[in-house]
Amino acid sequence: MIDLIEQIAPLADQFNRPITYLRISVTDRCNLRCVYCMPEAGLPWIATAEILSFEEIEAIVRAAASIGVRSIRLTGGEPLVRRQLPRLVARIASIPGIEDIALSTNALLLADQADALRAAGLRRVNISLDTLREDRFFAIARRPGLNRVLAGIDAAVAAGLGPIKLNCVVMRGQNDDELAEFAELTRRRPIYVRFIEVMPVLENAALQRNAYISASEILDRIREHGMLEPVPGPGGNGPARYFAFPGAPGAVGVISPLSHDYCETCNRVRLSADGRLRLCLFGDNEIDLRGPLREGAALDDLAGIFRGAMYVKPERHHLDLGKPASAMRAFSEIGG
Q: Where are the domains of the chain?
A: 2-333
How many Cα neighbours within 13 Å face the side chain of 208? 23
User: Considering only 32-41, 216-225, 258-267, 281-290, which range has the smallest mean pLDDT?
Assistant: 258-267
Q: Does domain 2-333 have CATH number 3.90.226.10?
A: no
CA 88 → CA 79, 126, 273, distances in Å? 11, 18, 14
Q: Are strands 286-288 and 276-278 parallel, antiparallel or unpaired?
A: antiparallel
Instruction: Give the per-residue SS3 of 267-282.
Output: CEEEECCCCEEECCCC
Task: Give the model's confidence band at 4: pLDDT under 50 very low, under 70 low, under 90 confident, else very high.
Answer: very low
**Residue 107: predicted pLDDT:** 97
Encode pLDDT of 44-62 as tens digits.
Answer: 889 999 999 999 999 999 9
Q: What is the pTM of this model?
A: 0.87
> Residues 250-287: pLDDT tens digits?
999 998 765 455 677 777 889 999 999 998 766 667 89
The mean pLDDT value for 150-174 works out to 93
